[in-house]
Amino acid sequence: MKSKATSFDIAHMAGVSQSTVSRALSDSPLVNQETREKVKRIAKELNYKVDKNASNLRKQHSQTLALLFFEDPTSDDSLINPFFISMLGSITKATAAAGYDLLVSFQNLKDDWHAVYEDSNKADGLILLGYGSYTDYEYKLSQLEEQGTRFLRWGAPDEKHPGVSIGCDNYLGGVEITKHMLSLGHKTFGFIGYADETAPEFKARFDGFMSVLLENALPSSNVVQKNAISTEAAGYEAALKILNDNRPDAIVCASDLIAMGAIRAVRSLGLKVPADIAVVGYDNIQISEFASTPLTTVHQNTQLAGELLVTNLLKMINNEPVTDYLMPPELIIRQSCGVNSSK
Amino acid sequence: MKSKATSFDIAHMAGVSQSTVSRALSDSPLVNQETREKVKRIAKELNYKVDKNASNLRKQHSQTLALLFFEDPTSDDSLINPFFISMLGSITKATAAAGYDLLVSFQNLKDDWHAVYEDSNKADGLILLGYGSYTDYEYKLSQLEEQGTRFLRWGAPDEKHPGVSIGCDNYLGGVEITKHMLSLGHKTFGFIGYADETAPEFKARFDGFMSVLLENALPSSNVVQKNAISTEAAGYEAALKILNDNRPDAIVCASDLIAMGAIRAVRSLGLKVPADIAVVGYDNIQISEFASTPLTTVHQNTQLAGELLVTNLLKMINNEPVTDYLMPPELIIRQSCGVNSSK
DNA sequence: CTGAAAGCGCTTACAG
DNA sequence: CTGAAAGCGCTTACAG
């Protein structure tokens, strides 16, 4: 293994100064066309690549964005929430398109903030990605802000939280899905998913759901809500509890994973989806389309979300103003509610 | 935004030299207990973090691993192969556990190798992850090696390829799945998936499959093979072609995604899985469990794979010897082949 | 145990 | 258009 070439090696071979090499390689207009070409040719021959550490140290920025996944502490190790996974792709691409590198790390919302600061040091900006409540971490967020770290949070804008956030309008998603249910004649509901501050996304969906019921003068006795984390197993358990007590027209689930479990629960009692009980999910994860009964759900445009996150973070880095943004949700009607849309 | 503190600031405040600060912070045994504590306290107060660029430049290594996804050029943008996604989690964790950072980038196998070299410059080692053939890229791989880059390839070891690789035994996977089919009495088969060098993983699965048929003296006229890339749509198309011509006992698919499509095709003709036709997949992606008919498939231990990839790459970086490794596959029997295992 | 000094490989004013 | 020089913020021999 030969030691790597430096700009001095190239300078030597090209018979110019090292400064000129640096200029030529960065396409500075200050350098003669001919010189530039010669330098570039030699650099190529030597398989020379600028040392990022040196370059970044000198330039005082890292040309790197960090993506911090805050894991759902409840979900098991091997199963990352498919929704986030799908955002990873678009974030990676948007980052690369902007000429930045992407540092990815998984964080535990509970304790690993030390690592966050570490990362904030290695990156020009941070993207915070994770379900769940940042409520207990406002303090940390403030500290991040105070420290001058540029960061963007995925999630619903919330005046209680420092920093700007980009998210999907979960309230509106809940509204749309519920209107759809009502239009199909469903009147009594189960709702599965946390509906409190520990899961702001779920709560927003639930609130949207309830608002439509209220609007339509349906009594709150028409709905029974059960907490559940976003897993198939939790959805199954919760659905079973609901079905043991009563038999609503429909079960509204705070996530697709929960919905998968709910469908299994319905079936396990010998009932059919959607003939006996309708089920809706949220997220439009890949499974939802291929499920035994293709799931009616709400799509969140992860492609757009990733791009928005990256371009806005870049704006922050360039000291341009950035504001909260809420993306509209998109209702995807499939078979699990009793409507058969064309495939 | 106040400018970041440096080790000199701390040195000043602590009344010691900057070298001592550096030593104290890195827990050098050379520094007095009391001094260390004072320095650390002040560092904490100032929210000081070592500048990685400076530190890495000085130490001449980056303490970073790069993960390069080679995208299946055929798959659409938004859908990353779930199998790889699942490896991302374990790789990230293993990397973090080793105290390294992870740089993630998506590459196009075709042209973006420039970026690979870039990355090789920013990381101490590279993990190459992607389906498909590296055949055309041997040259690039050699160049990487020549350049002294430490890299590990995910995939079947292959003497034609430079570098060491860690992979799953696809041949054995094909063997096991086929033995299972035979034990259920299936005798005629469709096989969906490329079975040539462009897709070495698929080919190995196919070869394993064929070897068992041969062993059992089944004529090759008992199998019809159709090419397909790893998508639901391609699986659907290919299955339809097979079913239009003949009606095998079972369809063996080179991936779960293909199998999902095959199942849809079988159904679209009014046939049932597995009653009329058995279907098997490969990968054990999340969908396979929740599919309309839970899929019999082959599990690849992504958790282990990720750890193996990281620990072995770290060994390479430390100049320890590393050899190719093939992980055994694991047959997961569910309902799509006609056997009802306990859930 | 501690400090002064060198140097990692760049970029970019400064001077010509 | 080009070169000589400074300096980004560290780590680590070297000297005490």
| pLDDT per residue of chain A (343 residues) written in tens, 0 to 9 | 345 788 888 888 888 888 898 898 888 888 888 888 888 888 888 878 888 888 888 888 888 898 887 765 444 444 556 677 778 878 888 888 888 888 888 766 555 565 666 666 678 888 988 755 555 667 777 777 877 788 898 887 776 777 888 989 999 999 999 999 999 999 999 999 988 877 888 999 999 999 999 999 999 899 999 999 888 889 999 999 999 988 999 999 999 989 999 999 999 999 998 999 999 999 888 778 877 788 999 998 888 899 999 999 999 988 888 999 999 999 999 989 875 433 3
**Is the Cβ pair A51, B2 closer than 8 Å?**
no
Per-residue confidence (pLDDT) for residue B81, from 0 to 100: 66
Residue in B with minimal Cα distance to A304:
B78
Cβ–Cβ contact A52 with B under 8 A: yes
Contact A248, A185 (CB under 8 A): no
Look at residue B2 and tell me whether its pLDDT is greater than 60: no
- How far is Cα A253 from Cα A225, in angstroms, rounded to an integer? 10
* Spatial CA neighbour of A128 closest among A146, A147, A113, A111: A113
pLDDT tens string B114-161: 566 666 667 888 898 875 555 566 777 777 787 778 889 888 777 677
A97 touches chain B (CB under 8 A): no
Looking at the DSSP assignment, which residues form a beta bridge with residue A126?
Answer: A66, A151
- What is the amino acid identity at position A226? K
Helix H segments across B159-231?
170-183, 200-215
Q: Burial letters for B21-53: b for 16+ Cβ neighbours within 10 Å, e otherwise?
A: bbbbbeeeeebeeebbebbbebbeeeebbbbbb
Q: Which of B49, B85, B117 sits opposite A49 (nearest CB)?
A: B117
In chain B, the residue whose alpha carbon lies closest to the alpha carbon of A44 is B114
Tell me the pLDDT tens digit for each residue of B51-106.
Answer: 888 888 888 888 889 888 776 544 444 455 667 777 887 888 888 888 888 888 87
Cβ-based contacts (< 7 Å) between B 260-299 and strand D: none
Domains identified in chain B and CATH numbers? 7-58 (1.10.260), 64-166+301-326 (3.40.50.2300), 170-299+331-337 (3.40.50.2300)
Per residue in B304-334, pLDDT (tens digit) is: 899 999 999 999 988 888 999 999 999 999 9
Mean pLDDT within B292-310: 90
Phi, psi for B68 (deg, rounded to 5): -105, 115
What tokens appear for A101 in the block? 């590198």
The pLDDT assigned to A254 comes to 94
Closest-CA residue of A relative to B287 is A287
* B54:A57 CB<8 A: yes
Closest CA to A174 of A252, A250, A228: A252
A60 Cβ nearer than 7 Å to chain D strand: yes
Return the amino acid letter for B234.
A
User: Tell me: the pLDDT tens digits for B176-207?
Assistant: 999 999 999 999 999 999 888 778 889 999 99
A-contacting residues of B 276-335, CB under 8 Å?
Answer: 286-287, 290-293, 302-303
What is the pLDDT, as a whole number, of residue A74?
Answer: 46
SS3 sequence of chain A: CCCCCCHHHHHHHHCCCHHHHHHHHCCCCCCCHHHHHHHHHHHHHCCCCCCHHHHHHHHCCCCEEEEEEEECCCCCCCCCCHHHHHHHHHHHHHHHHCCCEEEEEEEECCCCHHHHHHHHHHCCEEEEECCCCCHHHHHHHHHHHHCCCCEEEECCCCCCCCCEEEEECHHHHHHHHHHHHHHCCCCCEEEECCCCCCCHHHHHHHHHHHHHHHHCCCCHHHEEEECCCCCHHHHHHHHHHHHHHCCCCEEEECCHHHHHHHHHHHHHCCCCCCCCCEEECCECCHHHHHECCCCEEEECCHHHHHHHHHHHHHHHHCCCCCCCEEECCEEECCCCCCCCCCC
Check CB contact of A51 with chain B, cutoff 8 Å: yes
Q: Please tell me the distance from the alpha carbon of residue B21 to that of residue B19, in angstroms, as a whole number.
A: 5
Parallel, antiparallel, or unpaired: how do β-strands B101-108 and A151-154 relate? Answer: unpaired
Q: Torsion-angle region of residue B155: left (phi > 0), alpha (psi -120 to 50) or beta?
A: left
Taking an 8 Å cut-off on Cβ atoms, the answer to whether B77 and A96 are in contact is: no
Residues B228, B229, B233, B238: what is their CA dihedral angle, to the nearest 10 degrees?
0
Residue A33: which nucleotide is closest by CA–C1'? D1
Distance in angstroms (rounded) separating the CA atoms of residues B56 and B15: 26
Q: What is the mean pLDDT of chain B?
A: 84
Structural tokens at position B98: 């080793």
Cα separation of B261 and A342, whole Å? 18
CA A69 to C1' C10 (Å) is: 32
**Which residue's C-alpha is at the least distance from the C1' of C2?**
B20
Residues with CB under 7 A from strand C: A 4-8, 18-19, 22-23, 25-26, 48, 50-51, 54-55, 57-59; B 15-20, 23, 29-33, 35, 54, 57-58, 60
Q: B79 at the A interface (CB within 8 A)? A: yes
